[in-house]
Structure 1
Amino acid sequence: MKLLFVHQNLPGQYLHLIRHFGGDPRHQVVFLTQRHDIQWPGIRIVVYRPHRSVTPGGHHYLRDTEAGVLNAQAVARAALDLRASGFVPDLMIGHNGWGEIWYLKDVFPSTPLLGYFEFFYKRHGADVGFDPTVPTPFDDGPRVRTKNLGNLLALDTVDAGQCPTAWQKSLYPSRYHDLLHVIHEGIDTARVKPSPSAQLQLANGSVLTATDPVVTYVARNLEPYRGFPTFMRCLPDALARHPKAQAVIVGGDEVSYGPRLPSGHTFRQALLAELGTSLDRSRVHFLGKVPYPTFLTILQISTVHVYLTQPFVLSWSLLEAMAAECVVVASDTAPVREVIRDGDNGLLVDFFSSAAVSERIGAVLRDRASYTELGRRARQTVCSGFDLNTICLPRHLALIAQLTGIDVSSAQRSPQQGVA
């Protein structure tokens, strides 16, 4: 089979699929991306670049749409070059979010297109308006509605769509639900699992193990959308009540979602300044962004893992923490409730309540043995609903077979590729 993948940040959501297909010489895989710093066994990488940036001074409703059009044009040009070279894919797969897939059917009209649909923006019922401290002017409604132009264009273009969770699919208009299939990328539970012997060496030379009282928090970036302020504000009380506890925090200082602070300022700096001497800095360890094996070790030594999110895209890290049998304290928000049941496989708290987070952390630290079963059931939840090899990859391959008429279920897996 000939496959054409598109994602500006290879591999994106397609890590497991390109491992699957790239490791089998029967398949020819081309990946269009903006990354020029990566190679992948069995994959031909073609780098594209939009020919210009977004027009300065354009209407702010349309910035994302114009950026998407520029990406789509560049991808279409690269696809035209592929077609001229004789490459005609049996299937095209790509993320809708940055416009890249919008014009692919104009190049290969007979090739089925499978799009990834991550989030349909709403004025009510999701992230916009969730935080009562953030003003929501009338302008937010038209702006958010316009932001869905790319979603709607892609829904009219693809032959099928993929959503990673049922809640994310539910955000899309019901008229498109028959087009959208709920298939998560999958968690490799053979790799992501508990390890009683795990050890993490900190920058100060000390070593944390699975027997130490460790509070963990992980996000791509330390920002309000992922509840970083609430988590930080819970730490003075949580650490004061448990003098041996350590907090390990993973995440960068950029902003992935939502508004930014003034130039040069980060939410980490702002929260540390706010908390001042109330926080025992010697027991709070900021690790920044870490390699994937280090990330797994952090989960494996965790006594209690905190995951907070506004009603937005569910993070892989939550499911990975559950697969590692972490006792998870998580926000009582819609995307989280799809996978965590309070008191059964995790503990739910008010997203905004640092006191509630501290209380739940404290309960686990005081009597971790009483919460061990929650961690076990958390792993069972992932194994039974999100396991890569028994559930998610087979579902993905079945959908691909449905779209192409080609059975791809027997393809060989390639050796594991390192993950940053």
Structure 2
Amino acid sequence: MKILFIHQNFPGQYKHLAPALAAAGHQCVALTLRVKEPQTWKGVRLLPYGIKRKQGAGIHPWVLDFDTKVIRAEACFHAACALRDQGFSPDIIVGHPGWGETMFLRDVWPAARIGLYYELYHLSGSDHVGFDAEFQTKASETEKLRIRLKNLNNQMHYKIGDLGISPTEFQAGTFPPEFRDKISVIHDGIDTGHVVPNSEALLQLPDGSTVTRNDEVITFVNRNLEPYRGYHVFMRALPRLLKERPNAKVLIVGGDEVSYGARPPKGQSWKQIFIDEVRGRIPTQNWERVHFLGRIPYDKFIALLQVSRVHVYLTYPFVLSWSLFEAMSAEAAIVASNTAPLKEAIRHGENGRLVDFFDGEALVDEVCLLAEDAEMRTTLGQAARRHVVENYDLQSVCLPRQMQWIDRLANMTAGAVGD
């Protein structure tokens, strides 16, 4: 078959599926912003497309999000037309609609079967928009309207996609029933053969010192350090945590930008805002045990999980990070927020510990409990790895299901273009 992948940052969620399909003999092509010149990656032909149009002035702020998606959709449409005019006609199109790129592809190839990655439907209820009252503004009522409008892109894709895929039940469950009926829940997959526990693991810190499994290491990982992932809660817990655990070293991974949610005041970062908030309550000798590592290479990230004595993972009701499952695969003892997405992965007292997202005191209690109890850490960590191996392993579970999903898509009749 001829299979076209669409992802602005390819391979993204398709880093395993696309090479597997190419290895199986399919002709795989990807349209992406990530490359500037055509090239081949693991059997997949990567073709660039560019964005020429800029946002116009005077756009209503509630529809800025949709405007950026239409701009990308138009650019991708023209690139697809050029590919079609060169004689390429895909049997299957697989894409992530989150940036709008796939919006007009059925107009280019009406007979292609289209499979979409449904990451999240934006909900405006109090459990979502109003989850963290601290960051609510006077415009919270209108914020609900803006969030609702973010689903214009999702709605545009309803008739475009023949099948959908979503990595977790929580994420799939955010979509309305008409979407849910065609969404298969299949995780992207964790390479549990690579992410393994390692009693000999060693991690060098920026100051030149090293930590091993013999050290009391507490880890916290975000793509970017921000409230959506509980950075503020963790930082506010640090003064007591460092006092209670005088030998602990706290390793914090994450960038200074914003991936999700509100931006900090102009000229500031969430990272520094909450450092400034707590620093005065932390003696210098304790603060010296806190290490901000920024963003680190993947091999060092795995080593960090392998030396972790207690790993903390917090999130709003939102998508689950790969880092959670990777920590579980490394047999980390996990303390996580008792928010809806986590309940799918962590069972309290069985393969981790759950704590109220906002309860910093309880968070410290749970971390201290695990730091003290080696037997409990071992039991929870081993159970966490078993859960990931049984339900999220790349080679034995997720990739075979993804390939079956492609087969289902190939045997469908393509839908018609919606009005």
CA contact under 8 A between 2:19 and 2:44: conserved in structure 1?
no
C-alpha distance after superposition, 1:275-297 (max 9, x if no partner):
12433221111111111111111
SS at match of 2:211: strand
C-alpha distance after superposition, 1:310-364 (max 9, x if no partner):
0011111111111111111000000011111111110001111211111111111
CA contact under 8 A between 2:129 and 2:144: conserved in structure 1?
no
Q: Which amino acid letter does the alignment assign opposite residue 309 of structure 2? A: T
Question: Which residue does the alignment assign to 1:73?
Answer: 74
Structure 2: give runs of 5+ residues left out of the alignment: 413-419
Question: Which residue does the alignment assign to 1:30?
Answer: 29
CA-CA distance at 1:401 after TM superposition: 0.6
Greater shift, 139-148 or 377-386, is seen at: 139-148
Measured in 2, the distance between the counterparts of 1:67 and 1:82 equals 23
Q: Which amino acid letter does the alignment assign opposite residue 73 of structure 1? A: E
Measured in 2, the distance between the counterparts of 1:125 and 1:321 equals 30
TM-score by length of 1: 0.93
CA-CA distance at 1:125 after TM superposition: 5.5
Question: Which residue does the alignment assign to 2:416?
Answer: none
C-alpha distance after superposition, 1:35-61 (max 9, x if no partner):
127862322111112221222320111
Measured in 2, the distance between the counterparts of 1:227 and 1:251 equals 12
SS at match of 1:168: helix
Distance verdict in 2 for CA 1:126–1:160, change over 3 Å: farther
Structure 1 residue corresponding to 2:148, chosen from 145, 150, 154: 145
SS at match of 1:54: coil
CA-CA distance at 1:8 after TM superposition: 0.8
Measured in 1, the distance between the counterparts of 2:264 and 2:40 equals 35
SS at match of 2:16: helix
CA-CA distance at 1:263 after TM superposition: 2.4
Question: Which residue does the alignment assign to 1:176?
Answer: 179
Structure 1 residue corresponding to 2:205, chosen from 202, 207, 222: 202
Structure 2 residue corresponding to 1:222, chosen from 209, 225, 229: 225
Q: Which amino acid letter does the alignment assign opposite residue 370 of structure 2? A: V
CA contact under 8 A between 1:95 and 1:101: conserved in structure 2?
yes
Measured in 2, the distance between the counterparts of 1:287 and 1:263 equals 24
Measured in 1, the distance between the counterparts of 2:80 and 2:273 equals 45
Question: Which residue does the alignment assign to 1:414?
Answer: none
Structure 2 residue corresponding to 1:289, chosen from 295, 302, 324: 295
Measured in 2, the distance between the counterparts of 1:219 and 1:129 equals 22
Structure 2 residue corresponding to 1:374, chosen from 371, 374, 380: 380
Q: Which amino acid letter does the alignment assign opposite residue 55 of structure 2? A: V
Q: Which amino acid letter does the alignment assign opposite residue 27 of structure 1? A: H
Question: Which residue does the alignment assign to 1:251?
Answer: 254
What's the % identity of the aligned pairs? 45
Question: Which residue does the alignment assign to 1:85?
Answer: 86
Question: Which residue does the alignment assign to 1:402?
Answer: 408
Greater shift, 373-382 or 30-39, is seen at: 30-39
Measured in 2, the distance between the counterparts of 1:402 and 1:209 equals 47
SS at match of 2:29: strand
C-alpha distance after superposition, 1:98-138 (max 9, x if no partner):
10111111111101000011111111164311012233632
Alignment of 1:334 onto 2:340: yes
Question: Which residue does the alignment assign to 1:416?
Answer: none
Measured in 2, the distance between the counterparts of 1:368 and 1:55 equals 59
Question: Which residue does the alignment assign to 1:63?
Answer: 64
Alignment of 1:115 onto 2:121: no
Measured in 1, the distance between the counterparts of 2:27 and 2:40 equals 15
Measured in 2, the distance between the counterparts of 1:172 and 1:243 equals 46
Question: Which residue does the alignment assign to 1:40?
Answer: 41
Question: Which residue does the alignment assign to 1:160?
Answer: 163
SS at match of 1:155: coil
Measured in 2, the distance between the counterparts of 1:248 and 1:305 equals 10
Structure 1: give runs of 5+ residues left out of the alignment: 407-420
Greater shift, 52-61 or 208-217, is seen at: 52-61
Distance verdict in 2 for CA 1:321–1:68, change over 3 Å: same
CA contact under 8 A between 1:162 and 1:181: conserved in structure 2?
yes
Question: Which residue does the alignment assign to 2:95?
Answer: 94
Question: Which residue does the alignment assign to 1:413?
Answer: none
CA-CA distance at 1:237 after TM superposition: 1.1
Measured in 2, the distance between the counterparts of 1:232 and 1:4 equals 44
Alignment of 1:308 onto 2:311: no
Question: Which residue does the alignment assign to 2:415?
Answer: none
> Number of residues paired by the alignment?
405
CA-CA distance at 1:195 after TM superposition: 0.6
CA contact under 8 A between 2:203 and 2:212: conserved in structure 1?
yes
CA contact under 8 A between 2:52 and 2:75: conserved in structure 1?
yes
Question: Which residue does the alignment assign to 1:411?
Answer: none
Alignment of 1:270 onto 2:291: no
CA contact under 8 A between 1:126 and 1:312: conserved in structure 2?
no
Greater shift, 144-153 or 121-130, is seen at: 121-130
C-alpha distance after superposition, 1:258-310 (max 9, x if no partner):
11112221111111111124332211111111111111110000000000000
C-alpha distance after superposition, 1:176-223 (max 9, x if no partner):
221111111011111111011100011111110012110001110000
Q: Which amino acid letter does the alignment assign opposite residue 297 of structure 1? A: A
SS at match of 2:41: coil
Greater shift, 248-257 or 27-36, is seen at: 27-36
SS at match of 2:135: coil
Measured in 1, the distance between the counterparts of 2:411 and 2:162 equals 14
CA-CA distance at 1:391 after TM superposition: 1.0
Distance verdict in 2 for CA 1:355–1:15, change over 3 Å: same
Question: Which residue does the alignment assign to 1:260?
Answer: 263
CA contact under 8 A between 1:93 and 1:114: conserved in structure 2?
yes
Question: Which residue does the alignment assign to 1:11?
Answer: 11
Q: Which amino acid letter does the alignment assign opposite residue 90 of structure 2? A: P
Q: Which amino acid letter does the alignment assign opposite residue 338 of structure 1? A: E
Measured in 1, the distance between the counterparts of 2:406 and 2:306 equals 35
SS at match of 2:316: coil
CA-CA distance at 1:161 after TM superposition: 0.7
Question: Which residue does the alignment assign to 1:412?
Answer: none
Q: Which amino acid letter does the alignment assign opposite residue 16 of structure 1? A: H
SS at match of 1:278: coil
Structure 1 residue corresponding to 2:241, chosen from 238, 249, 252: 238
Measured in 2, the distance between the counterparts of 1:221 and 1:6 equals 25
